[in-house]
Amino acid sequence: MIRRRLPLPFALLFVSGVLSLAEGRQHQEIRRYQAPEARQGVAVDEVFFYVVNNSAIGKYRRDTGERVAEWSCPEGEPMIHFNDGMLFEGRLYLSHSNYPGVPSTSSIEIFDAETLEPVDSISLGHGFGSFTWLDRWNGEWFACFAFYGNRAAEPARDPSWTQIIRFDERFRRLEGWVFPDGLIEKFANYSCSGGAFGPDGRMYVTGHDEKELYVVEFPEAGSILKWVDTIPIEAEGQALCFDPADPWVLWTILKRNKEVIVGRIDPPVD
Protein backbone atom coordinates (compact mmCIF):
# COMPACT_ATOMS: atom_id res chain seq x y z
CA MET A 1 0.00 0.00 0.00
CA ILE A 2 1.54 3.29 -1.11
CA ARG A 3 1.16 6.46 0.97
CA ARG A 4 2.92 9.65 -0.07
CA ARG A 5 2.28 11.97 2.84
CA LEU A 6 4.09 15.27 2.53
CA PRO A 7 3.99 18.30 4.87
CA LEU A 8 1.48 20.93 3.79
CA PRO A 9 2.31 24.63 3.49
CA PHE A 10 2.22 26.40 6.85
CA ALA A 11 -0.18 29.26 5.98
CA LEU A 12 -3.45 27.52 5.20
CA LEU A 13 -7.08 28.57 5.21
CA PHE A 14 -10.10 26.28 5.06
CA VAL A 15 -12.47 27.65 2.41
CA SER A 16 -15.42 25.84 0.81
CA GLY A 17 -14.12 22.40 1.67
CA VAL A 18 -10.60 22.90 0.35
CA LEU A 19 -7.37 23.94 2.02
CA SER A 20 -5.91 26.97 0.25
CA LEU A 21 -2.73 28.96 0.62
CA ALA A 22 -3.37 32.33 2.27
CA GLU A 23 -0.97 34.10 -0.12
CA GLY A 24 -2.06 31.98 -3.07
CA ARG A 25 0.20 30.00 -5.37
CA GLN A 26 0.40 31.65 -8.77
CA HIS A 27 0.90 30.73 -12.42
CA GLN A 28 3.13 32.96 -14.57
CA GLU A 29 2.96 32.52 -18.33
CA ILE A 30 6.28 32.12 -20.17
CA ARG A 31 5.38 31.37 -23.78
CA ARG A 32 2.65 30.29 -26.18
CA TYR A 33 2.81 28.18 -29.33
CA GLN A 34 0.21 27.80 -32.07
CA ALA A 35 -0.60 24.17 -32.84
CA PRO A 36 -3.64 22.98 -34.82
CA GLU A 37 -3.66 19.72 -32.81
CA ALA A 38 -4.05 21.57 -29.48
CA ARG A 39 -7.48 20.19 -28.61
CA GLN A 40 -6.77 17.53 -25.99
CA GLY A 41 -3.31 17.67 -24.44
CA VAL A 42 0.46 18.10 -24.63
CA ALA A 43 3.53 16.07 -23.66
CA VAL A 44 7.12 17.33 -23.58
CA ASP A 45 10.73 16.18 -23.45
CA GLU A 46 13.97 18.19 -23.43
CA VAL A 47 13.89 19.03 -27.16
CA PHE A 48 10.33 18.54 -28.46
CA PHE A 49 6.71 18.84 -27.44
CA TYR A 50 3.90 16.64 -28.70
CA VAL A 51 0.38 18.00 -29.16
CA VAL A 52 -2.66 15.74 -29.18
CA ASN A 53 -6.02 16.01 -30.93
CA ASN A 54 -8.78 13.37 -31.06
CA SER A 55 -7.04 11.34 -33.75
CA ALA A 56 -3.86 13.30 -34.56
CA ILE A 57 -0.44 14.05 -33.06
CA GLY A 58 1.95 16.89 -33.90
CA LYS A 59 5.62 16.95 -32.89
CA TYR A 60 7.22 20.40 -32.49
CA ARG A 61 10.61 21.87 -31.64
CA ARG A 62 10.68 23.67 -28.30
CA ASP A 63 13.13 26.33 -29.46
CA THR A 64 11.35 27.43 -32.64
CA GLY A 65 7.84 25.99 -32.46
CA GLU A 66 8.40 24.31 -35.84
CA ARG A 67 6.39 21.16 -36.51
CA VAL A 68 8.80 18.37 -37.48
CA ALA A 69 6.50 15.34 -37.61
CA GLU A 70 2.83 14.45 -37.53
CA TRP A 71 0.56 11.44 -37.42
CA SER A 72 -3.17 11.22 -38.01
CA CYS A 73 -5.95 8.89 -39.04
CA PRO A 74 -9.57 9.42 -40.05
CA GLU A 75 -11.51 9.72 -36.78
CA GLY A 76 -12.58 6.26 -35.69
CA GLU A 77 -10.22 4.46 -38.10
CA PRO A 78 -9.01 3.20 -35.69
CA MET A 79 -8.53 6.04 -33.18
CA ILE A 80 -11.65 7.67 -31.77
CA HIS A 81 -10.66 10.02 -28.96
CA PHE A 82 -7.13 10.64 -27.71
CA ASN A 83 -7.22 12.46 -24.37
CA ASP A 84 -3.66 12.86 -23.12
CA GLY A 85 -0.05 11.96 -23.81
CA MET A 86 2.99 11.20 -21.67
CA LEU A 87 6.56 10.20 -22.53
CA PHE A 88 8.44 7.23 -21.12
CA GLU A 89 11.62 5.60 -22.38
CA GLY A 90 11.39 7.05 -25.89
CA ARG A 91 7.73 6.24 -26.35
CA LEU A 92 4.63 8.40 -26.36
CA TYR A 93 1.80 6.82 -24.36
CA LEU A 94 -1.65 8.12 -25.32
CA SER A 95 -4.83 7.75 -23.29
CA HIS A 96 -7.56 6.68 -25.70
CA SER A 97 -11.30 6.11 -25.31
CA ASN A 98 -14.47 5.77 -27.34
CA TYR A 99 -15.87 9.05 -25.93
CA PRO A 100 -18.74 9.95 -26.25
CA GLY A 101 -19.71 6.33 -26.88
CA VAL A 102 -21.27 4.22 -24.15
CA PRO A 103 -20.45 1.96 -22.50
CA SER A 104 -16.99 3.47 -22.13
CA THR A 105 -14.08 1.52 -23.56
CA SER A 106 -10.43 2.47 -23.23
CA SER A 107 -6.97 1.63 -24.49
CA ILE A 108 -3.36 2.75 -24.22
CA GLU A 109 -1.93 3.63 -27.63
CA ILE A 110 1.86 3.70 -27.81
CA PHE A 111 3.92 5.55 -30.44
CA ASP A 112 7.63 5.85 -31.13
CA ALA A 113 8.45 9.39 -29.96
CA GLU A 114 11.09 9.88 -32.67
CA THR A 115 9.05 8.81 -35.70
CA LEU A 116 5.46 9.05 -34.37
CA GLU A 117 4.83 5.57 -35.73
CA PRO A 118 2.44 3.40 -33.68
CA VAL A 119 4.28 0.54 -31.97
CA ASP A 120 1.80 -1.03 -29.53
CA SER A 121 -1.77 -0.98 -28.25
CA ILE A 122 -3.04 -2.21 -24.88
CA SER A 123 -6.80 -2.66 -24.64
CA LEU A 124 -8.37 -2.03 -21.23
CA GLY A 125 -11.91 -2.88 -22.34
CA HIS A 126 -14.76 -1.38 -20.32
CA GLY A 127 -15.59 -1.22 -16.62
CA PHE A 128 -13.01 1.32 -15.43
CA GLY A 129 -14.60 4.38 -17.11
CA SER A 130 -13.38 6.63 -19.91
CA PHE A 131 -9.56 6.84 -19.89
CA THR A 132 -8.48 10.50 -19.67
CA TRP A 133 -4.84 10.61 -18.50
CA LEU A 134 -1.82 8.50 -17.57
CA ASP A 135 1.33 9.24 -15.57
CA ARG A 136 4.16 7.44 -13.78
CA TRP A 137 5.31 8.04 -10.22
CA ASN A 138 7.81 6.07 -8.15
CA GLY A 139 8.09 3.54 -10.96
CA GLU A 140 4.36 2.82 -11.17
CA TRP A 141 1.50 3.73 -13.50
CA PHE A 142 -1.41 5.92 -12.39
CA ALA A 143 -4.42 6.54 -14.61
CA CYS A 144 -7.67 8.48 -14.46
CA PHE A 145 -10.95 7.02 -15.68
CA ALA A 146 -13.86 9.43 -16.00
CA PHE A 147 -17.62 9.21 -15.89
CA TYR A 148 -19.79 12.00 -17.25
CA GLY A 149 -23.10 13.74 -16.79
CA ASN A 150 -23.43 14.82 -20.43
CA ARG A 151 -24.12 12.95 -23.68
CA ALA A 152 -21.54 10.33 -22.62
CA ALA A 153 -23.36 9.52 -19.37
CA GLU A 154 -23.75 5.85 -18.54
CA PRO A 155 -26.77 4.34 -16.76
CA ALA A 156 -26.53 4.71 -12.94
CA ARG A 157 -23.16 6.50 -13.28
CA ASP A 158 -22.23 10.18 -12.93
CA PRO A 159 -18.93 12.14 -12.49
CA SER A 160 -18.67 11.01 -8.86
CA TRP A 161 -17.67 7.57 -10.20
CA THR A 162 -14.49 9.03 -11.71
CA GLN A 163 -11.44 7.27 -10.27
CA ILE A 164 -7.66 7.23 -10.12
CA ILE A 165 -6.23 3.71 -10.49
CA ARG A 166 -2.73 2.49 -9.65
CA PHE A 167 -1.53 -0.21 -12.05
CA ASP A 168 1.44 -2.55 -12.07
CA GLU A 169 3.82 -2.81 -15.02
CA ARG A 170 1.35 -5.06 -16.88
CA PHE A 171 -1.53 -2.66 -16.25
CA ARG A 172 -3.27 -4.82 -13.69
CA ARG A 173 -5.28 -2.84 -11.16
CA LEU A 174 -3.69 -2.54 -7.71
CA GLU A 175 -5.55 0.32 -5.98
CA GLY A 176 -8.14 3.00 -6.67
CA TRP A 177 -9.24 6.38 -5.30
CA VAL A 178 -12.09 8.81 -5.98
CA PHE A 179 -12.34 12.60 -5.85
CA PRO A 180 -14.06 14.51 -3.03
CA ASP A 181 -17.57 15.87 -3.61
CA GLY A 182 -16.43 19.50 -3.79
CA LEU A 183 -14.05 18.76 -6.62
CA ILE A 184 -16.64 16.68 -8.46
CA GLU A 185 -18.87 19.78 -8.38
CA LYS A 186 -16.05 21.73 -10.04
CA PHE A 187 -15.88 19.13 -12.81
CA ALA A 188 -19.64 19.68 -13.42
CA ASN A 189 -21.04 17.43 -16.19
CA TYR A 190 -17.55 16.60 -17.40
CA SER A 191 -14.74 15.19 -15.28
CA CYS A 192 -10.99 15.18 -14.64
CA SER A 193 -9.52 15.89 -18.08
CA GLY A 194 -5.84 16.14 -17.18
CA GLY A 195 -3.41 15.26 -14.45
CA ALA A 196 0.22 14.64 -13.57
CA PHE A 197 2.41 14.21 -10.52
CA GLY A 198 4.27 17.36 -9.55
CA PRO A 199 7.83 17.47 -8.21
CA ASP A 200 6.40 17.40 -4.66
CA GLY A 201 4.62 14.06 -5.18
CA ARG A 202 1.15 15.56 -5.17
CA MET A 203 -1.23 15.13 -8.10
CA TYR A 204 -2.11 18.24 -10.11
CA VAL A 205 -5.36 17.84 -12.02
CA THR A 206 -7.70 19.86 -14.21
CA GLY A 207 -11.36 19.73 -15.07
CA HIS A 208 -12.78 20.45 -18.50
CA ASP A 209 -13.53 24.19 -18.57
CA GLU A 210 -12.35 26.00 -15.43
CA LYS A 211 -9.09 27.98 -15.53
CA GLU A 212 -7.90 26.21 -12.42
CA LEU A 213 -5.33 23.61 -11.39
CA TYR A 214 -6.36 21.43 -8.45
CA VAL A 215 -3.82 19.90 -6.09
CA VAL A 216 -4.73 16.57 -4.47
CA GLU A 217 -3.04 14.12 -2.12
CA PHE A 218 -3.52 10.49 -1.24
CA PRO A 219 -5.49 10.00 2.00
CA GLU A 220 -4.00 8.47 5.12
CA ALA A 221 -6.84 5.95 5.02
CA GLY A 222 -9.93 5.30 2.95
CA SER A 223 -10.51 5.90 -0.75
CA ILE A 224 -11.20 9.65 -1.11
CA LEU A 225 -8.39 11.89 -2.33
CA LYS A 226 -7.67 15.09 -0.37
CA TRP A 227 -8.10 18.37 -2.25
CA VAL A 228 -5.48 20.68 -0.72
CA ASP A 229 -5.10 23.66 -3.05
CA THR A 230 -6.34 25.44 -6.18
CA ILE A 231 -4.03 27.41 -8.48
CA PRO A 232 -5.37 29.80 -11.16
CA ILE A 233 -3.97 29.08 -14.64
CA GLU A 234 -4.56 30.36 -18.17
CA ALA A 235 -5.66 27.04 -19.66
CA GLU A 236 -9.30 25.99 -19.53
CA GLY A 237 -9.00 22.42 -18.31
CA GLN A 238 -7.70 19.65 -20.57
CA ALA A 239 -4.51 17.60 -20.24
CA LEU A 240 -1.19 18.85 -18.91
CA CYS A 241 2.38 17.84 -18.11
CA PHE A 242 5.36 19.05 -16.10
CA ASP A 243 8.60 19.98 -17.87
CA PRO A 244 11.41 17.43 -17.33
CA ALA A 245 13.98 20.21 -17.81
CA ASP A 246 12.42 22.56 -15.22
CA PRO A 247 10.16 20.78 -12.72
CA TRP A 248 7.79 23.64 -11.82
CA VAL A 249 7.13 24.61 -15.44
CA LEU A 250 3.70 23.44 -16.54
CA TRP A 251 2.62 22.74 -20.14
CA THR A 252 -1.09 23.07 -20.91
CA ILE A 253 -3.32 23.87 -23.89
CA LEU A 254 -5.98 26.48 -24.61
CA LYS A 255 -8.38 24.46 -26.72
CA ARG A 256 -10.49 27.29 -28.14
CA ASN A 257 -7.40 29.08 -29.52
CA LYS A 258 -5.45 25.93 -30.45
CA GLU A 259 -2.53 27.13 -28.36
CA VAL A 260 0.04 25.44 -26.14
CA ILE A 261 0.72 27.48 -23.00
CA VAL A 262 3.95 27.18 -21.05
CA GLY A 263 3.98 28.69 -17.57
CA ARG A 264 5.62 28.44 -14.18
CA ILE A 265 3.69 27.66 -11.01
CA ASP A 266 4.91 28.52 -7.54
CA PRO A 267 6.21 25.56 -5.55
CA PRO A 268 4.44 24.88 -2.25
CA VAL A 269 5.79 26.55 0.85
CA ASP A 270 6.51 23.46 2.95
Report pLDDT for 217: 97
Positive or negative torsion for Cα 255, 249, 214, 3: positive
Give the number of other CB atoms < 10 A from CB of residue 72: 14
User: Tens-of-pLDDT digits for all 270 residues of the chain?
Assistant: 343 433 333 233 333 334 443 358 999 999 999 999 999 999 999 999 999 999 999 999 999 999 999 999 998 999 999 999 999 999 999 999 999 999 999 999 999 999 999 999 999 999 899 999 999 999 999 999 999 989 989 999 999 999 999 999 999 999 999 999 999 999 988 889 999 999 999 999 999 889 999 999 999 999 999 999 999 999 998 999 999 999 999 999 999 999 999 999 999 987
Nearest to 165 by CA among 130, 199, 208: 130
Report pLDDT for 5: 38
CA dihedral 38, 39, 45, 47 (to 10 degrees): -10
Report pLDDT for 8: 36
CB of 110 closer than 8 Å to CB of 91:
yes
Amino acid found at 105: T
> pTM value?
0.89
CB of 164 closer than 8 Å to CB of 203:
yes
